[in-house]
A and B are shown apart, each in its own frame.
Chain A
Amino acid sequence: MTRDIAIIGMSVELPEAKNTDEFWDLVVTGRSVSKPFPESRKKDIIDYVRYVRSVAVKPPTDTSVEFHDGYFLDDIADFDYEFFGMTPRQGAMADPVQRMLMKNAYLSLEDAGYTGPRIQDQNTAVFVGYSVNPGQTYVDFLTRADPSLTPLSLTGNMGTMLANRISYHLDLHGPSMVINSACSATLVALHQAKNALLAGDCDLAVVAGARIIMAPLKSADRNIGIESSDGLTRPFDERADGTGFGEGSGAIVLTRLDRARERGDQIYATIKGSAVNHDGHSEMITSPDQAAQTRLLTDAWADAGIDPRTVEYVEVHGTATRIGDPIEFEGLRQAFGRHTDDKEFCAVGTAKANVGHLFEGSGVIGVIKAALTVKNKTVPPMANFEKPNPKIDFADGPIHVPTTAEPWNPAGGERHCGVSAFGIGGTNCHVVLGEAPQQAEARAPQAVDGPQIFTLSAHSERSLRLLVEAYARFFGTEAAERLSLRDVCHTARVSRSAHRHRLALAVAGIGELRDALTALSQGRHDDLPAVHSNLDDWSGPAQPDESPLARYVRGEDVDWSEHEGTASGRIVKLPLYAFDESRCWSPFPDNWAERTSLGPGPSEQNNPVTHDIVFLEEPLAADWPGGVRALALVDPATDAEALLGTPPSGELHVLRLVADGADVGAGTFSATDESLQEVCDHILKGGYTHIVHALALEDTEAPDIQTLDHRVTKNLYSLFLLSKSLMNAGVRGRIVALTRKACALADGAFVAAPENSALAGLAKVIGREFPYLKTRVQDVDEHVTPGLLWREMTRPEPGLHLLRDGKSYHEVFEELPELGTGEEEDYLKAGGTYLVTGGTGGIGLAVSEMFATLQPDIDLVLVSRSGAPDRADWEQLIANHPDGKPARVARTLTEIEGMGARVHVHAADAGDPDALRGVVEDVQRTFGRIDGIVHAAGIPGRNLISLRDPQDFADVVRPKIHGAFVLGSATADVSPDFILHFSSVAVVFPSSGQGDYAAGNYYLDTLARMGRNDDCHVVAVDWVAWREVGMAVDYGSKLDTTFKAVYTNTGMGIIDKMLRSRRRRAFAGEVNYDGNLVHIFKSFDMVLGDTVNTKMKQAESELRDRLRIASEQKRKQIDAVTVELTGRPDGVYRDAEITVARCFADALGYPTLDVDADFFSIGGDSLMATSVASNIATCLRIEFDAADLLMERTVSAVADTVELMQQESAEESPV
């Protein structure tokens, strides 16, 4: 079985060569098509060039704008977007490189005869050679001035899409990839394609490459040192001084030779072998290496299994650089020299002399040229060659440079040639080509029985007309005369896609076919044979027949094999598809100079990292509104009923708590889920305005853990269960939770029952998760009267409110720029023992490490649920699984011990009072002392109250409340110097799902505020997320939101400062004064202090200013879009529809739009939706985003919504 590969289809697009015939003509006549950069293209990019220069930090020394000469395409903007399933806007957003590749890949497949039904059975691969040219890409051009185009431009400009989009468009399922090895990329792509075919990875493979030069600026600053001085490439010539830049694209289709012959494919040439290698550590990474080139050639010849002496033509890399050409010559000389002493037997040439250097696209252009050379049995001349380069001794080598075209009569019988390409990074490739096998079995043109059916089709009407013209011309050429009618008709029928505009006719000979097509193209159709077409002016008299021709033009899939006049034949070369191209270009905004400045950015502020929550006095309620129908849940063990008395007016119903397990009769309830659900049913039917949770009215601190646990269950959990039931029953109303001196008005203020302050944390979350249940916590003292209480607790403001001495206080969030309190002292003692809960967590370890740094002579007792890895395993863990959590723990502990501190790890759950107490007692026994405690244990809250399992709720609460209680009570005798509690932002600004977490942490805050009777310094810090370690990182939460996440170093600095200066409390987190986030702060039940409020207002106002400027520009842009609306018989469209249509058209590019066309079925995608929605919002001054566009998808539906929203906002705004 042969390992040869057949080239069965080819397509090129180069300056002055729109197809392979024109390309061969250019090559064989030795022309070189370098020219000045086209004026029209200069216009397209001159503003971009000026813009780039204007924003350069280092302005260019040379400010003139001059362009290189080169081998440029006249136009890179035209594209048949519709044919390739794109919207006009997508087409304009796609890299011209991608567009050329799609086009040429398609044409090469058509040339091979594989775009119609025949490709469906083939597993087809796409290999594209490509390399990014920084600063010269279309996406740079698109997004430098307007970064908002980035999402829209993504699929049209990502490197991988160059191959993938071809596979996607043609529904190809074989390997699809982009290969980047710079100038050798497409040749390496061919090598990979060959291997994939031989390995059976695919049946067919398209290899393609392309290059454009957006802005070929002449500038000393930008030269890379290989540019030709005058834009001409002169390989191996005396005057060679660099390479001329080329543009264009080429694609070829490969298949295994044996398969090609089986299937009757046309074969241009064969690929007999190839090799790829690298220079290795050569002199410089960018310089070519002769030894590697020599090895490359001999490897490729060996792979091809040919005698190198039979290679009589080499398409050399030949970049015409001063060092490149002599090295390539030497490589060839030494390689051939290993096999023969013959001189000057091998001609060389390179397409770079004709069409310039296409860099990453050059390999496939060389292969196409070589294949044409083999097929045409003619050695073409080297263009631009006059005098040999004196550094090259041609007489002493195997090669010569032909200057005229010569017939190729092989000395060895069979024609062999090679193609070389060398990448700038050192990746070299050489491919050996041979000729197509003699088609000995080529059937004598068999007589055809009767007329044959000829078909043509195109995606657009214009394309079909262009195709008919092209075929009419083609059938007048010499090449057509050699074709049989049978092959022509077979090729047209089976190897071309059936597009929607169609033509079919039965003809008896090629002459008749030519005449018919000529007549059609000239608009004559009187004397035509029966032409079937769905183009109105081509269809003959209406023929309601059921012939296959009629069915075909009606759009049906016709199985031709079943019909007469469809004899099968060979695939032959016919004209290729004629695209219906129009300009697809995203103009660089001509108002770029205005656009580059959006006014001042956010003002630079020095915002403190620390804040505090203070209680400030608020005015008392002025009067009693009445209309209250309240249900109070009371604990008869407290004086709740006396406290409540009776409301000034309205109704109060009371349910009294009975112990768990006792009978719940009328007027009673128990603090169980079941009983509270019944209470909820009662509330649902009872129509209450206020639900008063009057259970947490203890006036002394829980003396022991049992009492504490009882209170947490009775007070906190009952509020949780009740609110859960109320939410799940959809009850609307107000909850008031009463507590008595549970919170501290100020540092050191007396607190009766701190555990009840946890209700304040939970209450803040209830209203957040369920806005129909606003919840107020009313904390009272002994001076409150029922009248005052009812007036205050029924006020609409949610959140925590304290009544003290007849005055009301609420929480205010304010800056705390200075943590210090004046005096500072060290807080770690040499020889001290320090207990850290959550000790093996990220933050626990960081604190331990800081302690060890400050005072190495300490014992650190780390308590955690998971414990730490066995000390004996530390070293191995660090070595073998360095990134795992156990290794991180082991590493930090090793470091801490390295500093001199002594580490002891206890596995215990901080939420298990007995276990925690056991550890504390054990430490006291072992060390006889506890000098300080860090309570960093915690589990995050992760679910809505309405969905929260009571056990999960308790699991979050217990390490905080029970844990802190045990740490406090168990150390009452030893009086540590400090207890540091890690509290959370959740006590101030909780998110949904943090009810339990906020509750637990609020208790820690209260402990710190109230302090202890002994000298122990109790501290609580409300942390926002930490950036590098801790819960937010472990659980993948978003870090910078309303607050900026804390760096570990900053956090440690705050802890150190607070412990040193004996500050009790702080909120640690820098507000993110981002205008976009400020509105979130306003949604919390928390009053903002003056400084914070002023900064937020400023951020909002700056944002508004910037948005206003940006919107004005956006509106101008949209106003400038012209689009015609269709779809309504009366032709009347509303203003909103016209604006929405402009926004659609701005993204999609259509000149006309149907008012009822679905955005997503006319080419819109989710990436576009974002920018379209934002434009609609801007232009129509409403809130509208991509999700809204997902719901309302047509111009008219969006306009309906818009008008509705405009009405609403008019109603809302004061008049």
Chain B
Amino acid sequence: MRARIFPGQGAQRRGMGEDSFEEFPELTAQADELLGYSVAELCLEDPEGKLRQTRYAQPAIYFVNALLHLRDGGEPAGFDYFAGHSLGEYNALVAAGMLELIDGLELVRRRAEAMAGITDGAMLAVIGLTREQVESLLLAEGVAAVYLANWNSDRQIVVAGDRAGVRAFGKAAAKSGATKVTPLHVSGPFHTPLMNPARLRFDDALAECVFKPGDVPVVSSTTGEIVDPTHVRDLLSTQISTPVQWVRTVRTLRELGVTGFSEVNGTTLTKLDSEIR
């Protein structure tokens, strides 16, 4: 069985979605109108270097993910499951028929606004330490208000939280033998409780949105379980302030019999998949 998987923030790069915008002129025009700027120009030229900013990166990635999926045929029939990493989960819901593409873009726009509003925090990817090692480092001197934010693979874990705490964590991790410690270019401590104010703000947007039962099951990166179509609102709300469970997502898909993972817009997740046992 095959699953289509969609990456989230971090997949952005200048030039993404090349050729796709022309292929879907109507959708692109709708997106431009909704966003108030040219999404193609943002993705292809990025003249002001905005693609790194959460506010712009999230709608851009979401939209390019969606177009690239449509280009591949777009019919859900080709895949047995959908899943997405954090933001990519919105694409999975669209692909599965639970959410309209343009409705999703509006949600993502407001999600990005809300998340970009939380600025006093940091995220850090840690390569080469186990989850247990990472958890024990949360006790290290000076590490406070730091949380496990993404469980990406057996080797890669992202922590996030208070800036000073994350900094202390990075040092402790490097001392404990992490092979690489990389700060992520994001504005806030995503996927931690410190994002709760953003989550509350975003709940208003969710309340206005309509979700449908869908045609194909989606495995959620928030729970690692199959999405219950009647609880999508809660799920997307929770997602903002709880860790991304990508390892569990992949394991669940495999347990369901998925052997082929097909990623759009880069290979970020495909690389992670090979590091998950």
A interface residues, Cβ below 8 angstroms from B: 684-685, 727-731, 768-772, 943-944, 946-947, 991-993, 1080, 1083, 1166, 1185-1187, 1190-1191
Within B122-153, which residues are at the interface with A (CB < 8 Å)? 135, 138-145, 147
Q: Could you tell me the distance between the alpha carbons of A731 and B145 in the complex, rounded to whole angstroms? A: 11
| Selected contact of B170 from candidates A685, A728, A729, A1191, CB within 8 Å | A1191
A947: chain B residues at CB < 8 Å are 135, 138
B144: chain A residues at CB < 8 Å are 768-771, 992
A1185: chain B residues at CB < 8 Å are 171
Q: Could you tell me the distance between the alpha carbons of A991 and B136 in the complex, rounded to whole angstroms? A: 13
Size category, B interface: 20 to 34
Q: Could you tell me the distance between the alpha carbons of A369 and B19 in the complex, rounded to whole angstroms? A: 73
Q: Could you tell me the distance between the alpha carbons of A169 and B57 in the complex, rounded to whole angstroms? A: 44
Query: B181 contacts the other chain (Cβ, under 8 Å)?
Result: yes
A729: chain B residues at CB < 8 Å are 193, 196
What is the chain B residue whose CB lies nearest that of A773? B145
B162 touches A771 (CB 8 A): yes
A1190: chain B residues at CB < 8 Å are 170, 174, 180-182
What is the chain B residue whose CB lies nearest that of A684? B196
The contact sample of 13 A-B pairs, CB cut-off 8 A, is: A685-B200, A730-B195, A730-B197, A730-B241, A769-B144, A944-B138, A947-B135, A991-B139, A1186-B171, A1187-B175, A1191-B170, A1191-B181, A1191-B182
A769: chain B residues at CB < 8 Å are 144-145
Query: B91 contacts the other chain (Cβ, under 8 Å)?
Result: no
A772 touches B180 (CB 8 A): no
B241: chain A residues at CB < 8 Å are 730
B173: chain A residues at CB < 8 Å are 1187
What is the chain B residue whose CB lies nearest that of A725? B193
Within B44-64, which residues are at the interface with A (CB < 8 Å)? none
A992: chain B residues at CB < 8 Å are 138-141, 143-144
A1187 touches B193 (CB 8 A): no
Between B144, B162, B180, the greatest number of chain A beta carbons within 10 A of the residue's beta carbon is seen for B144
B142: chain A residues at CB < 8 Å are 1083
Known: A992-B139, A1191-B181. A728 touches B174 (CB 8 A): no
Return B197 CB to nearest CB of chain A, in Å.
8
Return B208 CB to nearest CB of chain A, in Å.
19
B195: chain A residues at CB < 8 Å are 730
Query: B3 contacts the other chain (Cβ, under 8 Å)?
Result: no
Within B154-176, which residues are at the interface with A (CB < 8 Å)? 162, 164-165, 170-171, 173-175
A770 touches B145 (CB 8 A): yes
Query: B9 contacts the other chain (Cβ, under 8 Å)?
Result: no
Return B183 CB to nearest CB of chain A, in Å.
5
| Selected contact of A1186 from candidates B145, B162, B174, CB within 8 Å | B174
Which 9 A-B pairs have CB atoms at the shortest separation, nearest pair first? A730-B193, A1187-B174, A730-B194, A1187-B171, A993-B139, A730-B196, A1187-B170, A992-B139, A1190-B181
Q: Could you tell me the distance between the alpha carbons of A993 and B147 in the complex, rounded to whole angstroms? A: 14
Query: B192 contacts the other chain (Cβ, under 8 Å)?
Result: yes
Between A946, A1083, A1190, the greatest number of chain B beta carbons within 10 A of the residue's beta carbon is seen for A1190
What is the chain B residue whose CB lies nearest that of A730? B193
Return B220 CB to nearest CB of chain A, in Å.
20
Between A943, A1083, A1191, the greatest number of chain B beta carbons within 10 A of the residue's beta carbon is seen for A1191
Return A835 CB to nearest CB of chain B, in Å.
34
Return B126 CB to nearest CB of chain A, in Å.
10
Within B171-208, which residues are at the interface with A (CB < 8 Å)? 171, 173-175, 180-183, 192-197, 200
Q: Could you tell me the distance between the alpha carbons of A749 and B135 in the complex, rounded to whole angstroms? A: 43
B174: chain A residues at CB < 8 Å are 1166, 1186-1187, 1190
B139: chain A residues at CB < 8 Å are 943-944, 991-993
What is the chain B residue whose CB lies nearest that of A1080? B141
B171: chain A residues at CB < 8 Å are 1185-1187
| Selected contact of A728 from candidates B141, B181, B193, CB within 8 Å | B193
What is the chain A residue whose CB lies nearest that of B167? A1187
A771 touches B145 (CB 8 A): yes
Q: Could you tell me the distance between the alpha carbons of A1080 and B171 in the complex, rounded to whole angstroms? A: 16
B192: chain A residues at CB < 8 Å are 730
Known: A771-B162, A1186-B174, A1190-B174. A684 touches B200 (CB 8 A): yes
B147: chain A residues at CB < 8 Å are 946
Return B34 CB to nearest CB of chain A, in Å.
29
B183: chain A residues at CB < 8 Å are 1191
Return B127 CB to nearest CB of chain A, in Å.
10
Q: Could you tell me the distance between the alpha carbons of A947 and B193 in the complex, rounded to whole angstroms? A: 13
B193 touches A991 (CB 8 A): no
A1187: chain B residues at CB < 8 Å are 170-171, 173-175, 181
B181: chain A residues at CB < 8 Å are 1187, 1190-1191
A771: chain B residues at CB < 8 Å are 144-145, 162, 164-165
Q: Could you tell me the distance between the alpha carbons of A1080 and B183 in the complex, rounded to whole angstroms? A: 25
B196 touches A991 (CB 8 A): no
B182: chain A residues at CB < 8 Å are 1190-1191
Return B277 CB to nearest CB of chain A, in Å.
24
Return B23 CB to nearest CB of chain A, in Å.
36
Q: Could you tell me the distance between the alpha carbons of A1187 and B137 in the complex, rounded to whole angstroms? A: 15
Q: Could you tell me the distance between the alpha carbons of A730 and B196 in the complex, rounded to whole angstroms? A: 7
Q: Could you tell me the distance between the alpha carbons of A946 and B143 in the complex, rounded to whole angstroms? A: 13
A991-B139, A1187-B181 known, 16 other contacts, Cβ within 8 Å: A685-B200, A729-B193, A729-B196, A730-B195, A730-B241, A771-B164, A947-B135, A992-B138, A992-B144, A993-B139, A1166-B174, A1187-B170, A1187-B173, A1190-B181, A1191-B182, A1191-B183
B143: chain A residues at CB < 8 Å are 992
Return B171 CB to nearest CB of chain A, in Å.
4
What is the chain A residue whose CB lies nearest that of B241? A730
What is the chain A residue whose CB lies nearest that of B192? A730
Q: Could you tell me the distance between the alpha carbons of A728 and B241 in the complex, rounded to whole angstroms? A: 10
Return A945 CB to nearest CB of chain B, in Å.
11
Q: Could you tell me the distance between the alpha carbons of A770 and B189 in the complex, rounded to whole angstroms? A: 14
Q: Could you tell me the distance between the alpha carbons of A728 and B238 in the complex, rounded to whole angstroms? A: 13
Q: Could you tell me the distance between the alpha carbons of A971 and B192 in the complex, rounded to whole angstroms? A: 50
Return A878 CB to nearest CB of chain B, in Å.
35
Return A442 CB to nearest CB of chain B, in Å.
54
Between A1186, A1187, A1191, the greatest number of chain B beta carbons within 10 A of the residue's beta carbon is seen for A1187
Return A1192 CB to nearest CB of chain B, in Å.
9
What is the chain A residue whose CB lies nearest that of B143? A992
Q: Could you tell me the distance between the alpha carbons of A1083 and B173 in the complex, rounded to whole angstroms? A: 21
B165: chain A residues at CB < 8 Å are 771
B200: chain A residues at CB < 8 Å are 684-685
What is the chain B residue whose CB lies nearest that of A770? B145
Q: Could you tell me the distance between the alpha carbons of A771 and B121 in the complex, rounded to whole angstroms? A: 13
Return B174 CB to nearest CB of chain A, in Å.
4
Return A1177 CB to nearest CB of chain B, in Å.
13
Q: Could you tell me the distance between the alpha carbons of A943 and B139 in the complex, rounded to whole angstroms? A: 7
Q: Could you tell me the distance between the alpha carbons of A1089 and B170 in the complex, rounded to whole angstroms? A: 34
What is the chain B residue whose CB lies nearest that of A771? B144
Q: Could you tell me the distance between the alpha carbons of A1190 and B175 in the complex, rounded to whole angstroms? A: 11
What is the chain A residue whose CB lies nearest that of B147? A946
Return A1195 CB to nearest CB of chain B, in Å.
18
B138: chain A residues at CB < 8 Å are 944, 947, 992
What is the chain B residue whose CB lies nearest that of A994? B139
A1080: chain B residues at CB < 8 Å are 141
Q: Could you tell me the distance between the alpha carbons of A684 and B241 in the complex, rounded to whole angstroms? A: 13
Q: Could you tell me the distance between the alpha carbons of A1187 and B171 in the complex, rounded to whole angstroms? A: 5
What is the chain A residue whose CB lies nearest that of B177? A1166
Return B137 CB to nearest CB of chain A, in Å.
11
B145 touches A772 (CB 8 A): yes
Q: Could you tell me the distance between the alpha carbons of A772 and B170 in the complex, rounded to whole angstroms? A: 20
A731: chain B residues at CB < 8 Å are 193, 196
Between A685, A730, A993, A1190, the greatest number of chain B beta carbons within 10 A of the residue's beta carbon is seen for A730
Q: Could you tell me the distance between the alpha carbons of A729 and B175 in the complex, rounded to whole angstroms? A: 30
